[in-house]
A and B are shown apart, each in its own frame.
Chain A
Amino acid sequence: MPEFFHRKLERSAIGFVLAIIAAASVGGIVEIAPLFTIDETVEEAPDMRVYTPLELAGRNIYVREGCYACHSQMIRTLRDEVERYGPYSLAVESQYDRPMLWGSKRTGPDLARVGGKYSDFWHVAHLVNPRDVVPESNMPSYAFLARNRLRTDDLSGHLRAQQALGVPYTDEMIENAARDAYGQAAPDSAAAPGVGERYGPATTVSAFDGVATQLTEMDALVAYLQVLGRLTDAAYRNTAAPEEAPDPAE
């Protein structure tokens, strides 16, 4: 019977293709399918906020420039990593990340918790010429970011696409995306207070690149770097608990 079956399969090339699909699809289905119920089991982070339009634009610059090729954003559950970079990364921390930027290579250090570690001024100086700040560095110069004006006319579209995929952006956030991007990098402007109202009082409003009058790609990237690891503090709350807590009643 199996012999007949195989012969038939192999006689027709289509049957053979079906056999390939049958063999190859199992592994993926078995490993990926349960991940769609995973949000039922992972840590909760009710305090987690979404990226502001400026941070999202900065994230897209991080993607565009291929920063992920040399910097991971995933602290593993290993002692030396936790001591070097901070609490290990939780799944919930990247729940709004499309795509995820966990990375696969550390030519430079992990950035999952780099937010708040250095001043805005340090980041700008470092991005303009890394060797001014870290003489041994082999990172490229990103001076051009300070020269490029940030494109804001399409930010509402970006937020709308994210909303369609399930990221909890409100219609008000979408409507004010360009204004909020400007306001977040211009603390004294009329647009600045709206950012905190929409994204929470903890949101950093700052002239990230040191120039409040002009919104550049440098502003966006620094705003993004400064929020890394700071969208939620879930990672700092008792994260080493076992998967299933023992029941004392038993």
Chain B
Amino acid sequence: MNVTDRMIGQLTSGEREAALVICGVTALAGAALGLVGRHDVVAWHGLLILLFAGGFGFLLMTRIGLPEPTGDRGTSYYDDPIKAGITLAMAWAVFGMFMGVWVAAQLAWPDLAFDGGWSTFGRLRPTHTTGVIFGFGGNALIATSFHVVQRTSRARLAGQISPWFVLLGYNLFCLLAVSGYLLGVTQSKEYAEAEWYADLWLVIVWVTYFILYLRTLARRREPHIYVANWYFMAFIVVVAILHIVNNLALPVSWGHAKSYTIWPGVQDAMVQWWYGHNAVAFFLTAGFLGMLYYYLPVRAERPIFSYRLSILSFWGITFFYMWAGSHHLHYTALPHWVQTLGMTFSVMLLVPSWASAGNALLTLNGAWHRVRDDATLRFMMAAAVFYGISTFEGSFLAIRPVNALSHYTDWTVGHVHAGALGWVALITFGSFYTLVPRLWKRERMYSAALVEVHFWLSIAGTLIYVFAMWNSGIIQGLMWRTYTEDGALAYSFVDSLVAMYPYYIARAFGGLLFLIGAIVGCYNMWMTVRAVPEATRRAADEPVAAAVPGE
């Protein structure tokens, strides 16, 4: 019996039919989009939706006659979508990080492209950002949130099909987004490049996610909602608001991929960075803090240092972040007072951010020997440290005069990666290494040594990357504003570009190490899943042992 059989076998025949209807409707919508837009590139996306939904419909159709599930499903947790989510997250990690290494290499060696638009830096860069943020990060968040909400509520997910719809629908969105960039379909809104039809689809998926999460919480067998769920809930709710407001747009026609945002000029700038910064806050911070507040205590086998502090920092983060976006627009045509407000709140943000980082590290106080011995726990410890560092750096860079130097330079890129590699990716790997053996009922990961290898590759890659970008960014910023004694600009723009090349090479190398680490992690997880469970093996050994005479 293969995996698909087992997963579909968990559904009742009524549920299989309902899922088939959902696939059918989605496939029809794809076909309609393709037909209406047959003269536009959007036709390819109509075809993609048709194939995606049709493919899953086919899987269901061929297995519609499987026997009904036996026993009460309510007595166990629903882990199949979580397993699929982890697998997808790791696949996206390798894809997204590979694209990252490629675009980084293109900056050092610009001829590393094919003839044709699809492989130029401008089109590949969003495949990297979307691949890692939404593909890797998003799948990791969906998977871990499904796990955490069930365990902390002691209740099974409130739905059999909806978790699959959320997970697979979300991945369809990611596919539409990434393939769109290669085809030249983009809104150009940073971290929200996908066009209107993909955005509409994501709204449907996200509302389902929200309802599923809320219904599962409502089923809980614990009086109190554990704080990790607060963070996941804030992630789901606020990302929905951000996504809808930022992506309000008018398509050229129903059969045209292109749309025009309803926000013009300066309003669009504010809306985009209100979105952009809060995508960092609620996608890349809140959700991953949810992971931290569950998997770190569980792995360390110690309760969180201060529960109250986690509540205070939760509301601090939820409240403050929304004000901070305008620090992306210092010295621009945005009104001065909005810039000042953004700067002030960015500095204040340091308080709840460090409260979270400190809370995590103090949880480990007294268990440092375990951090030394267990690379998984060390992943999470390092994540908390990088979280502390990058939030400090973020508040610092938001101060107007500092921003005058850092903005538009590689320093920003370095800062983002200190957070994305050091915080987001490390906490995810730490959580996955905790989660994979538990989910697949293995005693431990296949190889502790490979977790160790992954850890050091990640740390080395992150440090090389971040130091290269700090150097290049500060050099760049200083060169742009250096004057000669006669009061003329000392360097041309090209002078500053030439100075960047060594750092661009170093950065690509740092990224490559990080990518190799992720591949090692994939292998280790794959082997863990493949390994025969301890209990099964012992059971298989028993008859042989019993057959040995004279014992």
Contact = CB atoms under 8 A, between A and B. Distances in A.
Given A17-B233, A76-B332, A10 B190 contact: no
Contact of A69 (B116, B122, B258, B409): B122
Contact of A164 (B117, B250, B267, B480): B250
B186 A64 contact: yes
Interface stretch (A78-86, A118-126, A196-204, A208-216): A78-86
Nearest to A32: B270
A131 B110 contact: yes
B234 interface: yes
B110 A100 contact: no
B188 interface: yes
A38 B264 CA distance: 12
B267 A166 contact: no
A136 B498 contact: yes
A41 to B, nearest CB: 8
Contact of B404 (A14, A78, A100): A78
Contacts of B251: 161
A140 B252 contact: no
A67 B122 contact: yes
Nearest to B336: A243
Contact of B120 (A65, A96, A98): A65
A13 interface: yes
A157 B258 CA distance: 10
Contact of A80 (B39, B113, B332, B480): B480
Nearest to B266: A91
A106 B322 CA distance: 26
B318 A104 contact: no
Nearest to A84: B489
A158 B258 contact: yes
Contacts of B293: none
Contacts of A108: 493, 497
A34 B338 CA distance: 9
Contacts of A164: 250
A245 interface: no
Contact of A104 (B217, B218, B225, B412): B412
A72 interface: yes
A221 to B, nearest CB: 12
Interface stretch (A19-27, A179-187, A222-230): A19-27
A78 B258 CA distance: 35
A23 B125 CA distance: 34
Contacts of A74: 332-333
A117 interface: no
B369 interface: no
Interface stretch (B139-147, B323-331, B533-541): B323-331
Given A66-B186, A74-B332, A137-B110, A100 B338 contact: no
B412 A26 contact: no
Interface in A134-151: 134, 136-144
B319 A23 contact: yes
Contacts of A101: 188
A163 B501 CA distance: 45
B241 A21 contact: yes
A26 B319 contact: yes
A136 B494 CA distance: 7
Contacts of A107: 107, 497
A105 B110 contact: no
Given A16-B233, A66-B125, A76-B332, A154 B238 contact: no
Nearest to B319: A23
Contact of B332 (A69, A89, A167): A89
A102 B497 contact: no
A218 B216 CA distance: 54
Given A16-B230, A140-B110, A158-B258, A97 B268 contact: yes
Interface string B494-510: 10011001001000000
B264 A35 contact: no
A74 B233 CA distance: 36
Contact of B214 (A10, A14, A25): A14
A241 interface: no
B225 A13 contact: yes
Overall SS of chain B's interface: helix
B241 A100 contact: no
A77 interface: yes
A38 B269 CA distance: 13
B272 A35 contact: no
B417 interface: no
Nearest to A102: B269
A13 B237 CA distance: 12
B256 A10 contact: no
Contact of B122 (A28, A66, A137, A162): A66
Contacts of B404: 76, 78
B87 interface: no
A4 interface: no
Given A31-B270, A74-B333, A138-B107, A165 B498 contact: no
A97 B319 CA distance: 31
B432 interface: no
Contact of B345 (A27, A91, A142, A144): A27
A243 B337 CA distance: 12
B136 interface: no
Interface in B481-528: 481, 483, 489, 493-494, 497-498, 501, 504
B262 interface: yes
A154 B260 contact: no
B428 interface: no
B12 interface: no
B169 interface: no
Contacts of A12: 218
Nearest to A11: B223
B227 to A, nearest CB: 11
B493 A84 contact: yes
A190 interface: no
A13 to B, nearest CB: 4
Nearest to B218: A13
Contacts of A70: 121-122
Given A91-B265, A95-B265, A102-B269, A65 B122 contact: yes
Contact of A98 (B261, B322, B504): B261
A157 B253 contact: yes
B177 to A, nearest CB: 13
Given A24-B234, A106-B408, A137-B497, A99 B217 contact: no
B123 interface: yes
B267 A32 contact: yes
B55 interface: no
Contacts of A13: 214, 217-218, 225, 233
5 contacts: A20-B318, A69-B121, A98-B264, A104-B407, A105-B413
Given A16-B233, A98-B264, 16 more contacts: A26-B319, A26-B322, A27-B324, A80-B481, A84-B493, A96-B264, A97-B268, A98-B261, A101-B188, A105-B412, A138-B501, A140-B121, A140-B122, A141-B113, A144-B117, A161-B252
> Lowest 8 A-B CB distances belong to which pairs?
A66-B122, A27-B322, A94-B265, A76-B331, A27-B323, A91-B333, A140-B120, A13-B217
